Amino acid sequence: MDTSHSPRMIASETTPLVPAEVSKPKTPLPKLQLGLLFMIQLAEGIASTSIFPYINQLISELGITGGNDAAVGYYAGIIESLFFVTQALTVLRWSRLSDRIGRKPVLVFGLSGACISILCFGLSRTFWSLVISRCMCGVLDGNVGVMKTMIGELTDSTNMAQAFASISIVWSLAGVFGPLMGGTLARPQDHWPVLFTDPFWGHYPYFLPCAMGACLLFLTLFTMVFLLEETLPAMRRPKLTLGLSSGESLPQQSRADISLRSLLTPTVVIPIANYTMFALLDMSRRALVPLFFSTPTYLGGLGFNPSYIGSWLALFGIMDGVFQALFFAKLVDWLGPKRLFSVSVLSYASLMVVLPIMSWLVRARGGVDHAVTIALLCQLVLSSISSMGFGTLLMFITASAPTRNTLGAINGLGQTSSSMARAVGPVLATSLFAASKQHNLLGGNAVFVILFMLAGALRWMGSQLPDKIQDRDE
């Protein structure tokens, strides 16, 4: 950087900025508007994660595994992945649509779709009805990419780290309340037989947590309609016009369509590739841990019931939120986003070592004791450090946009790629877990070895990220 420039000079597209070197004062965050976006993220996250504590038990009760406990992981992984499969097919279209009609209409439609689909999930009593409801949610809800775009439009290089830390905090809160709600409210007729005496609850034992999730989504939708402001002015939306001359018989492409291919430069692709791989590993962990908790001890799991699983997952979410709130922005300033990402990947690799250690301790000690509890707490800390990788990668992706007008397309590309990875992650992890246990691969630990090796590959990919965050043009 040319130090002779005035410190008040606005950096160009190619001028590197490190958070510690930024000389201009931090721009205050638009708290109300960001708060509304985080409310949407929280509601959708709670509804999404609420199924994790009971999904394995639900699959068992459907009778599709033929009594084979080890095969539950295959079907649970399919259910968990379907949302991301269908989201990957549609999220870019939703993001591009938001470039044309505005962000807010797309968010309204997405919240409505999420509300309807979670109700359908709670009323499902066959495997295929579960499949349809999860696919419906993925197709109708493209909000995640649009929300990240709006956050990018509401922030700049001086407050970006703080905003993206808040994204991780909100997701952590969803990781607290979602599993806690799902584990606590599942099968209410068993926990509160005096209150839930109607046969409906026996026929639909998992409807209550879904209904609560739908109520939260509806309340968020109602609030957003009246208070959320549009971040994409009509004057900045590309126009799609029909050519009327003899040489223009087809619709002209919008600027977003024309520039999409040109955006696939190393500056954009490298952060998105890292984000995709990290999403694959993170979703593998999120699907693997509840399955590991619920698997009987004779198969190498911990044998926890849904309520206990929900409590532990909630504790993980609390710890995640604490780490993000207290340390993320400070660690970005201290280490820089690239080094912090490397630390998060190394923590993930360490986590894949702790899980088989817990399995060995349970077998050696005949159950869960203090040693296993200590290992669980170690897993909690490693998970929280690992989760910081998302915030750093979102900073790289947002900064890779050459102008604000390309944010929607770049976030759409990133979310499409990560949705594909999130679709593969649960199936990969749960299937590898089931195969490892059924065939005693590497002593039943093959799944942990493979994920450890993938974390090593991601560590190399992270080394290709730029050393510094760059400002984009307005």
Secondary element (H or E) of residue 16: strand 16-17
Which range has highest mean pLDDT (332-336, 347-351, 408-412, 469-473)? 347-351
Q: Does the residue 201 lie in any domain?
A: yes
Secondary element (H or E) of residue 469: strand 469-470
Mean pLDDT of 436-454: 86
Q: Does the residue 178 lie in any domain?
A: yes
Residue 368's pLDDT is what? 72
pLDDT tens readout for residues 420-429:
887 788 778 8
Q: How many angstroms separate the Cα of 358 from the Cα of each of 230, 297, 301, 355?
A: 49, 11, 9, 5
Residue 17's pLDDT is what? 42
pLDDT tens readout for residues 155-204:
876 777 778 777 777 877 787 788 889 988 999 998 898 888 898 998 99
Cβ neighbours around 21 below 10 Å, total: 9
Q: Per residue in 237-246, is it b (16+ CB within 10 Å) or e — as a string? A: bbeeeeeeee
Q: How far apart are CA 371 and CA 382, in angstroms?
A: 17
Residue where the block lists tokens 């956050």: 151
Q: How many angstroms separate the Cα of 247 from the Cα of each of 107, 241, 296, 359?
A: 38, 14, 69, 70
pLDDT tens readout for residues 76-134:
777 877 887 888 888 888 887 887 888 899 999 999 999 999 999 999 988 899 999 99
Task: Give which of 93, 148, 83, 88 is closest to 113, Cα–Cα.
Answer: 83
What confidence category does residue 37 fall into, taking pLDDT thresholds of 50, 70 and 90? very high
Torsion, Cα of 442, 444, 449, 451 (10° steps): 150
Q: Report the sign of the C-alpha dihedral through residues 255, 257, 259, 263, in that order.
A: positive
Domain range enclosing 291: 31-232+264-470
Residue 361's contacts (CB-CB under 8 Å, 6 or more residues apart) are 369, 371, 372, 375
Residue 387's pLDDT is what? 86
Task: Give which of 276, 263, 273, 232 is closest to 88, Cα–Cα.
Answer: 276
Pairing of strands 16-17, 469-470: antiparallel
Residue 453's pLDDT is what? 94
Q: Does the residue 237 lie in any domain?
A: no
Q: Does the residue 4 lie in any domain?
A: no
Of the two residues 8 and 288, the one the predictor is more confident about is 288
Q: How far apart are CA 132 and CA 54, in angstroms?
A: 18
pLDDT tens readout for residues 287-314:
888 888 888 777 777 877 777 787 787 7
Mean pLDDT of 352-364: 84
Q: Does the residue 298 lie in any domain?
A: yes
Task: Tell me how many domains the chain contains.
Answer: 1
Q: Is the pLDDT of residue 223 over 90?
A: yes
Residue type, 114: A
pLDDT tens readout for residues 242-267:
333 334 443 434 444 445 677 777 88
- Mean of the per-residue pLDDT values of the chain: 80
Q: Does the residue 242 lie in any domain?
A: no
Cβ(436)–Cβ(356) below 8 Å? no
Q: Does the residue 24 lie in any domain?
A: no
Residue 396's pLDDT is what? 86
Q: Residue 442 has what DSSP assignment? A: G
Residue 53's pLDDT is what? 84
Residue 417's pLDDT is what? 86
Q: Is the pLDDT of residue 363 over 60?
A: yes
Secondary element (H or E) of residue 17: strand 16-17
Q: Does the residue 104 lie in any domain?
A: yes
CATH number of the domain to which 429 belongs:
1.20.1250.20
